[in-house]
Every structure is written in C-alpha cells, then in structure tokens.
Chains A and B, each alone.
Chain A
Amino acid sequence: AQSVTQLGSHVSVSEGALVLLRCNYSSSVPPYLFWYVQYPNQGLQLLLKYTSAATLVKGINGFEAEFKKSETSFHLTKPSAHMSDAAEYFCAVSESSNTGKLIFGQGTTLQVKP
C-alpha cells in the first residue's frame, strides 16, 4: 500500500533562509508525486509534480523538489524564504495517472520569522 510521511509537523525559518520540507513515500509502482500548499482557510493549490520526467522539478513561487528513487524521497526546497510562504504544505502520491486520487502526508506548517 502507498503511504507518505512528512518529517516535522512544524518548520520555522527566518526570512531569507533556506526552506527544506521533507517527504518520504512508499509505493510498489513508479509513483506520481505532488506538493500542494494550503493558505489559511483556503483550498489546496498545486506547487509542483513529478510524473517520471526530470527528477528535479521546478514549481511555482521559486519552489523545487528532487525525486530520489534510492531514498524514496521527494523533498521540497526554496533557497530564500519569504513571509508569504507561511502556509501548510502537503506531499501526496498517486499510483496512477488518475492524479486526483491521492494519498496525502500529514502536512507541515511552515512559519517564516521576520
């Protein structure tokens, strides 16, 4: 069965610092992997997705993630945090191209300090 683990329910960084949000997955087949962001009282917005093309995936708002099959990881990074990045971030996996049927991680709340 598929599963997703996000390490750290809360991450705090200073503005301008590196953002690193960790995601590990398990899947018996080559996965489709996603990062979503949720701002307070809003729905989820896709940041980026991996669908077996390039292993380094670039998304919106300066975020990127690297698919590492050997480590079963798909960590999200951003070189320099901005106050507007404060939100909850979800990693998700799908076994099929039916990309709305997702298994989500528990979520990581990113706090950005001035």
Chain B
Amino acid sequence: NAGVTQTPKFQVLKTGQSMTLQCAQDMNHNSMYWYRQDPGMGLRLIYYSASEGTTDKGEVPNGYNVSRLNKREFSLRLESAAPSQTSVYFCASDMTTTEAFFGQGTRLTVV
C-alpha cells in the first residue's frame, strides 16, 4: 500500500525554468492538497482539489498552477521558477472526516 507518492524527491532548477511535481494516491481519496514547507513557517497551503475536476487556491498560490488529472493524480506546476520557490513541497490527500495523509516530500532548490 503506497499511500501518497511524490516524484521527484529532489530537484534543482535554474531561475526561469519550469517543472511539474507529480503526486498520486492509491487510497481512493476525494481531496488532494499541495503544501510548501519553509523553515520557521510551518506548512502553507498552495492549492487544493476537493474532488476530481475542481481546484481552488490556498494561502500562497502565486507562481503555481495545478491540474487534477483524475481522482488519483494531482500535479503542481512552476511555470517560471524563482529562488523564492526554493522549498520542500508536500502533497496530501484525504476523505472528508478522515485524517490527511502526506507524501514524503519534494525538495526543490531554485538557483
């Protein structure tokens, strides 16, 4: 039982490059989330998808786009990476009233 799987685990980008972070869950959860974790700031919600076909902005959506490809997959795209987007990114999923399950994270460095 894999749970929430994120790829890649590590990535280094140059300023201005684009990339997509992938997330897949195998728990048949309706909702999926993208968070970023920065030192001293906890985790902050970037985007979420309450169900297949819907997406909504979270607290820090600027510079990101998302796609809920199907019920299992929720991707996060950086169109033009900036050093301020250096962070650890976590994907999570849940079914209403159950706990959120988190992936192992993607450590992104933008130079």
Contact = CB atoms under 8 A, between A and B. Distances in A.
Nearest to B41: A106
Contact of B43 (A42, A51, A90, A99): A90
Contact of B94 (A4, A36, A42, A100): A100
Contact of A43 (B45, B58, B105): B105
A46 interface: yes
Residue with the greatest number of chain B CB neighbours at <10 A, chosen from A34, A49, A92, A102: A102
Interface stretch (B13-21, B60-68, B76-84, B96-104): B96-104
Interface string A76-114: 000000000000001010000111111111110000000
Contact of A101 (B4, B45, B90, B99): B45
B50 to A, nearest CB: 7
Given A9-B40, A46-B99, A102 B45 contact: yes
Given A102-B100, A106-B40, 6 more contacts: A41-B104, A44-B90, A44-B92, A100-B32, A100-B94, A100-B100
Contacts, number: 66
Interface string B28-48: 000111000000111111001
Contacts of B75: none
A4 B50 CA distance: 23
B48 A100 contact: yes
A46 B92 CA distance: 12
A42 B104 CA distance: 5
B100 A99 contact: yes
A100 B43 CA distance: 12
Given A43-B90, A98-B50, A100-B33, A105 B100 contact: no
